[in-house]
């Protein structure tokens, strides 16, 4: 039978699985190399991401998406213009916007929801297995993976010289004693599981995406819905993710109450949130702390510091490490940022499942920008998010059928290049 789509191709199908799973797990491979072979570097991280994106080319080339090509061109031109004002090209800005477009293109060309289900199941099985190993054999896990040393070597953390650090986990891998665990404190200690993501924050983000994917399923896919929702909650608990707890609670409410045109309401969510943050900065009296309220105050202060130059993305001195909305506006400018958001909502959705997932993904993006600067753009979760978004559109590319498999060609015709005509010809 002729091969028609990438998901049916005997080579492209496993390649898709390897790419998406690799995009989720590549950091743990680099951490293993750092721990047992040689020190990792930021350049190695960039090289790994570039190789994963290059591996997508066989799946991207069968079909160019005109709208996406136009958006990439306009984005590149805008960032180049902004570079003239900033005094230099923001390579991280290019990278942050290229990953979503690249993996959306990949998912759109694959267009097979069943394959996406399979990829997600593989990823979940590995994440939970490694997470349980970390939970019950922490010393062995950190002997295998020196997470703290890895992040120091790639420049994400400053080396600590004042004292000998006992834990090899990320800085947020242990809840402070005065704060304690949020989820199941009577059963689990203050250790927050990070699994293959190396940091519990990313595991919580992954768990949220898994639940969003599960909740997007229809009535005929209840078994899959329950599987993804339950496994997502398990990972949320392991990571003790307060962000995932809030997000999942909101997503469940949306799934129960939102239908039809109501699924478009999350389109206004970022604007309402930014308005609320500005109001909090103007009238609130809460101080900063490592809580939801404290993070919101930090985001409010970031937005309050904006002037016209920052708002247009032309200020080279703007730096907002944990303030997502301020980071997006200062990096891309308000025109490009709003353009990205509108582009998401202008894509026609083929069915209710796709409309639900877009709505849930929008909620996830709107919320994560309130408490984190660049987590939305981390490849280990961003690639998965945009691949799923592209896939759920269920519009796969059509591969060219080999000549010898086309109807109307005989074996002799293939050999001598002669078309086989019908019997009555």
Instruction: Categorize the per-residue pLDDT at 157 as very low, low, confident or very high, splitting at 50, 70 and 90.
Output: low
Q: How buried is 172 (Cβ within 10 angstroms: 0-12 exposed, 13-18 middle, 19+ buried)?
A: middle
Say if 370 falls within a structural domain: yes
Per residue in 36-80, pLDDT (tens digit) is 999 999 999 999 999 999 999 999 999 988 888 888 888 889 889
The mean pLDDT value of the chain amounts to 86
Say if 57 falls within a structural domain: yes
Per residue in 365-387, pLDDT (tens digit) is 999 998 887 889 999 999 999 99
- Total domain count for the chain? 1
- The phi-psi region of residue 192 (left if phi > 0; otherwise alpha if psi is between -120 and 50; otherwise beta) is beta
Per residue in 247-261, pLDDT (tens digit) is 999 999 999 998 888
Say if 31 falls within a structural domain: yes
Report helix, strand or coil for 174.
strand
- In the DSSP assignment, the letter for residue 320 is -
Q: How buried is 165 (Cβ within 10 angstroms: 0-12 exposed, 13-18 middle, 19+ buried)?
A: middle
Whole-model pTM: value is 0.89
* CA gap 398, 247 in Å, rounded: 37
- Residue 137: partners with Cβ closer than 8 Å, 6 or more residues away: none
What stretch of H or E contains 413?
A: helix 411-416
Count CB-CB contacts under 10 A for residue 242. Answer: 16
Say if 402 falls within a structural domain: no
Question: How much is the CA Rg of the chain, to the nearest whole Å?
Answer: 23
Say if 69 falls within a structural domain: yes
pLDDT at 158: 55
* CA gap 122, 136 in Å, rounded: 22
* CA gap 53, 57 in Å, rounded: 7
Residue entry with tokens 């930090």: 298
Say if 339 falls within a structural domain: yes
What stretch of H or E contains 54?
A: helix 42-54
pLDDT at 174: 85
Average pLDDT over residues 287-303: 73
Say if 193 falls within a structural domain: yes
Say if 191 falls within a structural domain: yes
Instruction: Categorize the per-residue pLDDT at 401 as very low, low, confident or very high, splitting at 50, 70 and 90.
Output: low
Q: Which two tokens stand for residue 165?
A: 């650090």
- Domain of 199? 6-391
């Amino acid at each position: 039978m002729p091969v028609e789509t990438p998901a049916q191709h005997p080579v492209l199908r496993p390649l898709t699985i390897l790419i998406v799973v690799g995009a989720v797990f590549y950091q743990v491979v680099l951490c293993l190399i750092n721990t047992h072979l040689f020190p990792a570097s930021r350049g190695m991280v960039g090289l790994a991401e570039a190789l994963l994106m290059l591996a997508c080319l066989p799946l991207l080339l069968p079909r160019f998406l005109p709208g996406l090509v136009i958006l990439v061109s306009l984005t590149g031109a805008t960032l180049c213009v902004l570079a003239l004002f900033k005094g230099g090209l923001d390579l991280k800005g290019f990278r942050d916007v290229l990953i979503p477009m690249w993996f959306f293109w990949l998912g759109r060309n694959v267009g097979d929801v069943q394959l996406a289900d399979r990829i997600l199941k593989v990823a979940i099985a590995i994440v939970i297995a490694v997470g349980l190993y970390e939970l019950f054999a922490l010393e062995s896990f950190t002997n295998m993976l020196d997470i703290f040393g890895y992040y120091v070597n790639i420049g994400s953390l400053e080396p600590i010289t004042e004292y000998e650090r006992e834990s090899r986990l990320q800085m947020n891998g242990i809840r402070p004693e005065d704060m304690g665990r949020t989820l199941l404190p009577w059963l689990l200690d203050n250790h927050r599981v990070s699994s293959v993501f190396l940091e519990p924050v990313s595991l919580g983000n992954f768990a949220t995406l898994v639940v969003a994917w599960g909740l997007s399923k229809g009535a005929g896919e209840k078994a899959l819905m329950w599987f993804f929702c339950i496994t997502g909650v398990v990972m949320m608990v392991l990571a003790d993710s307060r962000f995932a707890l809030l997000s999942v609670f909101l997503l469940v409410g949306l799934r129960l109450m939102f239908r039809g045109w109501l699924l478009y309401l999350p389109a206004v969510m970022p604007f309402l949130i930014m308005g609320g943050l500005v109001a909090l900065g103007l009238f609130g009296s809460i101080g900063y702390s490592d809580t939801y309220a404290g993070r919101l105050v930090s985001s409010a202060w970031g937005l309050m510091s904006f002037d016209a130059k920052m708002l247009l993305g032309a200020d080279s001195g703007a730096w907002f490490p944990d303030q997502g909305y301020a980071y997006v506006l200062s990096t891309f400018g308000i025109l490009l940022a709003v353009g990205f958001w509108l582009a998401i909502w202008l894509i026609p959705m083929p069915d209710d499942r796709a409309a639900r997932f877009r709505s849930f993904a929008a909620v996830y993006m709107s919320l994560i920008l309130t408490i984190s600067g660049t987590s939305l753009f981390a490849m280990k979760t961003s690639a998965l998010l945009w691949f799923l978004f592209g896939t759920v559109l269920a519009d796969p590319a059509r591969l060219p059928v080999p000549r010898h498999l086309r109807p109307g060609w005989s074996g002799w015709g293939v050999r001598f290049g002669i078309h086989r005509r019908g019997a009555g010809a």
